[in-house]
Structures are given as structure tokens and as C-alpha cells.
Amino acid sequence: MPRIMAAAVMAVMLAVSAAPARSAETATADDTARFLAGLPPSANSPLAPLTKDPFWQQHARYFDSIFAREDSAKLSKVRAFSKEYLTDKHDTMLYMFSGPDFLYATSFFPNASTYVLAGLEPTGDIPQLTNLSRSTVNGSLRNLEVSMGSLLSLSFFITKNMKVQLHEGPVFGTLPVLYVFLARTGKTIHDVSLVGLDPDGNFQKADEPATTAGDTKKSARSLARSAAQAVKIVFSDGSGPKQTLYYFSTNLADGSIERSGFLAFCEKLGPADSFIKSASYLLHSGGFTKVRGMLLDRSATVLEDDSGIPLAYFDRKKWRLQPFGRYVGPLNIFGHSYQPGMAELFRHATPIDFGIGYRWRHNESNLLLAQKGAPLTTDQGLTPGLPTDQYPQADETQAPKKARKARKRAETDSTGTLACHYGGVFPFCSSTSRKVSR
């Protein structure tokens, strides 16, 4: 009899964990974001009862811990850097090859009215969580923990973890990651919708608009013909003015970016602050000349690590360059992207007290601040480009082939602790001491 009773209790427990917690009410996007981020939704939200689940409470404690650690170790210092050096800010912020990294976008440029992030990764979907089983909800929370841990530890994403989160399960893509970053940086989400671009850079409307909490799959079908699909999120920082975040899932390579309407869209925006990090040195190749030219043309400010726009492309008559940190060169896999001119420029760089990019360790990171139209000085940032820094047009005809070969390789750096995969626009790395093949 005790065994029978125990079996019955176990069956009930399994049934409860598998059954969806259905609700006639619809959770708002803001409540959904807070729930995924391990923050309590509003008291009257249909998601509020789910916060009593021990798994969610453990998830909340974990995110409390890692975000507090990240804020103390890096983000507070990034904000201090921004306040001191990024004083000439603009309404538009461009972040190419970003993936869903809103965290660093808002930390460096908190006051932009329009954020434009772009990468190959899908926008994804967040269905009504109350219509999912508890086990599915818990699995989605776990995927977020695993996939985001690397960004918060290294400042970029790990391949194997993000591949799971971005492509598997009902809660997938960049959207849930963006939700978490928005909630954890104190933002309030007001509206979420899917948009697409026509070849002229104008918005196409979805036949079936997304709900405030997600359900983007139906809308995505009506935008499938657009080569530049985006999720548009309207948010505010507390009671501050409303701001808009676009994440475009689109190919930034030459041959694709011209047809997608994305370049035309960016040209409709005002002067921008641009940010580039951990970008696989794609802008060093001849395969991304259009997006590189757009950034140089549309940007009033470019903040980047050495994986961004090569030094040789900044006309010293138009740009003032300020180096920060230490330039030790690229990882071994990117040895062909070493810039002697950067080494010279960074001889007298201003130190930074945080790590960022592939060289994320203390005293190995670099940032280059390029400001257009600023008065030129003779004491900083004006070293002439060396011959080995030049990228003549004749050489660029071979660059796409070389870049493809480089991105297909995966190997460890000199420390034997970091392996990187470069099969697409969004770069990923993983901590390992062994070679990894894609």
C-alpha cells in the first residue's frame, strides 16, 4: 500500500509539472521580460503565481548574483568611462555584428533615442509563458542562464550555448535575451512589434501584428520576404523619455546588404554613435566594404576594439583618434589582422580599468575612440598610418576568400584557453584547451 500511494503521489507531481498553467489573461511584454530576467512581475500579472516555483526563485538568485558581479567588475566602470569620454552623444546608436548585446550598447550610450543592432541571428519568439508547461518554462530559464553566462563573464557569447538558446524550444532567438537585458538595466517595455524593410529602407507592416508579450511567429510569416527583418521594442528608463530598440536579423555582407534595404534605412537616420567589438575582424576584409563605408559615413563617433574598422580607413584630416587600454594584437586565429600602426598609436594610450572584447583579461583590452570633426591635436591619436596598415583596392579582391578561410578555422589562442568559431556575422567563442571544429 505505501508503494501504491507513493506511486500515485509521484504521478500527480509529474502531471502538475507537465501541465500548462493556462490563464485567460495576457502577460505584458514588460512583465514577461521581468519574469525571464528573474525579477518579479507586477502583482496582478498572470505570471506572478509562477514566481512561487522554487526553480524560478533559484533562477532569480542566480541572475541577481551574476548581474551584480558584472556591474561591479565591468558595467559600472563602462558607465564611468562613458560619462568621462563619450560626452558628444547623438540620438542614433549603431551596433553592427552585435547579436542581442543591448547590455553594452546601453552602458556605453545610455541616452540614444534609437538603437540599431544587427546580426544574422533570428529575432525569435516568446509565446505566452502561462500556456507552456512548467518544465518547458524552467527549461527556457535554464537556457537563458547558460547562454548569457559567457557574455557576463567574457563580454561575448559562447557558440555552443547560444546555438541552443537561439534556435531551440518555444522561447528562442535574440528576443528573450534582449528582454533580459532591458529588464536588468531598469528599462520598462511599452511595445513590441515585428517590422521588415523593403529595398528602399521603408518599413513593411506585418499582416498580423505581434502581441505585447510576443507571439511573433505569425507576424514573421508575413515578413518572410524581407531580407532585413527586425523586432522593434519601445522602452523607457523609468519615467524617462521613450526610446526605440531595433534588432535586425540580416546579412551585413556585400551582395546582401545592398538588396535588403538596411543601408537605405540607416541613411535615413541622423548622425550616429557607432560601437563595434568582438566582430571577427570582418571589417578588415573586402567582403564587408558597404557596411564599413556606411559606418564611416554615418557616424559622428566610432567606439571600437581592434576587431572593428582598421586604423587605415580613418582619414586623419577628418577624425580625431583617442586610444584607451593596451593593444597586444589579435588572437592567433586573427594574426593576419595585426596592425603595426595600432601598436604605435597605443604606446601612450590612456589606461582602462575593465576588460572587453576577445582580449577580455585585465590590461589586455583596447578601445579606440574616433570622433569626426573634432579639432586635431599633436599629442594624441595622430600617428601616420604605416604601409603595413594600408588596405589598397587591389588587395581587397582577395580578401573575401581569405576571410572565409579564416572564419572556417577554429583554434586556441596563445593561452590555450579560448577557442573561437567564425562561421557567420555574429562571432562566438568558447573556453577550452582543445581545438574545436565546426
Give per-residue pLDDT as tens, 261-319. 999 999 999 999 999 999 999 999 899 999 999 999 999 999 999 999 999 999 999 99
* pLDDT at residue number 1: 46
Distance (Å, rounded) from C-alpha 407 to C-alpha 409? 5
**117: pLDDT strictly greater than 50:** yes
41 vs 243: CA distance, rounded Å? 21
Residue 42 in contact with residue 125, Cβ under 8 Å? no
In a domain? residue 256: yes
Residue 238: its pLDDT value, please? 87
3-state secondary structure of 97: coil
Number of other residues whose CB lies within 10 A of the CB of residue 208: 15
| 244: nearest Cα among 205, 277, 195 | 195
Residue 114 lies in a domain: yes
Q: In what order do the strands lie in the sheet with 187-197?
A: 203-205, 187-197, 229-237, 242-249, 114-119, 92-96, 272-276, 299-304, 366-372, 319-325
Residue 8, domain member (yes or no) = no
Buried/exposed 233-262: b ≥16 CB within 10 Å, e otherwise: bebebeeeeebebbbbbbbbbbeebeebbb
Domain with 272, as residue range(s), is 19-402
- Note whether residue 250 is domain-resident: yes
- Average pLDDT of span 28-54: 97
What pLDDT band is residue 155 in, cutting at 50, 70 and 90? very low
Between 434 and 17, where is the model more confident? 17
C-alpha cell at 305: 576594439
Cα–Cα distances in Å, from 59 out to 73, 138, 150? Answer: 21, 9, 16
Side chain identity at 427, as an amino acid letter? Answer: P
pTM value is 0.80
Q: Please give the helix or strand (H or E) that residue 195 lies within, else none.
A: strand 187-197
Residue 376 predicted with pLDDT over 80: no
For residue 11, tell me if it sits in a domain: no
pLDDT reported for residue 167: 62
In a domain, 109, yes or no: yes
Long-range CB pairs of 82-85 (<8 Å, 24+ gap) are 82/107, 82/108, 82/109, 82/110, 85/322, 85/324, 85/369
pLDDT at 195 over 50: yes
Number of domains in the chain: 1
The neighbouring-strand residues paired with 205 are 195
Identify whether 436 is part of a domain. Answer: no
Q: Is residue 420 part of a domain?
A: no
Write out the three cell numbers for 361. Answer: 583579461
